[in-house]
Copies of this chain bind each other. A is one copy, B any other.
Amino acid sequence: MQMNQTETAFMEYVKKMESFNEALQLIYWDLRTGAPKKGVKQRSQVIGMLSNEYFQMSISEEMAAFIANLSGKKSELPELVQKTLEECKKIYDRNKKIPPKEYKEYVILQTEAENIWEEAHKKSDFDMFKPYLEKLVNYNKKFIEYWGYEGNKYNTLLDLYEPGVTVETIDKEFETLKEEIAPLIQKIQESGNKPAMDFLFHPFPKEQQKKFSLKILAQMGYDFEAGRLDETIHPFATGLNPGDVRITTRYHDNDWRMAVFGTIHEGGHALYEQNISGELIGTPLCTGTSMGIHESQSLFYENILARDRSFWEYNFEILKKYSNGQFDDVRLDEFYRAINKAEPSLIRIESDNLTYSLHIIIRYEIEKALFNNEINIDELPDIWNDKYEQYLGIRPKNDSEGVLQDVHWAAGNFGYFPSYALGYMYAAQIKNAMIGEIPEYDQLLKTGNLRPIREWLTKHIHRYGKTKKPLELIKEATGEGLSAKYLTDYLVEKYSILYNLE
């Protein structure tokens, strides 16, 4: 469809906003991959300025006029313009309601808080981080008031990451998870059946870990001409544009799993961003539709595909070649059991595929309580530790392995955590739909031919970017709404076999 003058001007305007955004994303990537410490203060000024430009454009009179002009004849607009308009209106409404001065202060606070958190985390010093956390929470409470809310106040924060998903839905699905997973964990603990693990922890040269990780990324279909792999303390993926989607990982000398599964996880995110339809470039739709759907892609690859026995039927021999001989006397089944070991632990990002959701549920419950004024910041470390003891039967010894372990709150990302568990649920549901259409799924894994899987995901998920909302996308891809059942079925079946449970 031909665009008229207003439509073209609107899309040009939006393109400029996205350029600001891309510059910002690059600066963030740089800050995390090795920007010199002493330049950070001045860089924060640059971030503040660029964010402000973006922000001002999102709430300008010009934008208001575009929205007013185009909304009237929405049904006549080309689809891309229509969806872009919807997204811009959403951002407009969200940003217009925060006083500009507060927003600016908040952006600067975020950068400062992340730096302080890094140090506090190192020193296990919650008091150091506390005043920043308190400010961040208070800003977000104010924002909720500005934005308004339906039902629970926390819904407003959830909507930032998972549009359309509410406390009501999450409470229901998380209840299912707790009901099914907690007893399963207990059964496993009681069974006394423990896989041998010692062969996992041998010195595995970093360079070799990297080479193997790159090999798996290539198998997954990660396009190295449209990305790069770097090293950071906290791995992440960032899509600057579909032609530049960067991932990072970290290496542990005696635990190759951290780098390999970490890379696969970020690789899953990256495949999503690399395969968004090119026509969405330069619009706010050129990104994942929600954190949860994004996480479904990383968790599908990391937890489901790369913990499948068939996947290792192909890759175990390759791993052996890159290692220093640590697996020479290990059978595939022993290996498979070891990498799927389930045991309660303290650190979310090091936790296993079974207990993982409980880590998320703890954070969800704390956030929900925080924003409903049911707990104080001071109490956080204790509440955190109590919940770990209650759900997982273990208690952190310090705040570094407790409440300080995640960067999310330092970045002001409240409402984000539930996405991880939502993503896991989506992933299991997506896999279920996928094997309906790809019955040879197992055989593909066994031959290292992951291309049809990536293509299926691109067809049903990736390419749409943000043009479809999460629950809409899941419904179209799987034929039904979100259901925790696919995840619990998957976990119960898998772990019952692994641990010989009744």
Contacts and interface: CB of A to CB of B under 8 A. Distances in A.
Given A23-B27, A27-B26, A39 B244 contact: yes
A359 to B, nearest CB: 33
A49 interface: yes
Interface in A39-56: 39-43, 45-46, 49-50, 53
A36 B243 contact: yes
Contacts of A39: 226, 240-241, 243-244
B227 A36 contact: yes
A23 B23 contact: yes
Interface band, chain A: 35 or more
A interface, by DSSP: helix, strand, loop or mixed? helix
Given A227-B36, A244-B35, A43 B22 contact: yes
Interface in A194-217: none
A42 B46 CA distance: 21
Interface in A283-330: none
Contacts of A16: 49
Given A27-B26, A35-B244, A49-B16, A42 B281 contact: yes
Given A42-B241, A43-B240, 8 more contacts: A19-B50, A22-B43, A22-B46, A23-B23, A26-B30, A36-B225, A36-B226, A39-B243
25 contacts: A16-B49, A19-B46, A19-B49, A20-B49, A23-B23, A23-B27, A26-B26, A26-B27, A30-B30, A34-B228, A35-B244, A36-B224, A36-B225, A36-B228, A36-B243, A37-B243, A38-B223, A38-B226, A38-B244, A39-B240, A39-B241, A42-B282, A43-B241, A43-B244, A45-B282
Interface of A: 15-16, 19-20, 22-23, 26-27, 30, 34-43, 45-46, 49-50, 53, 223-228, 240-246, 281-282
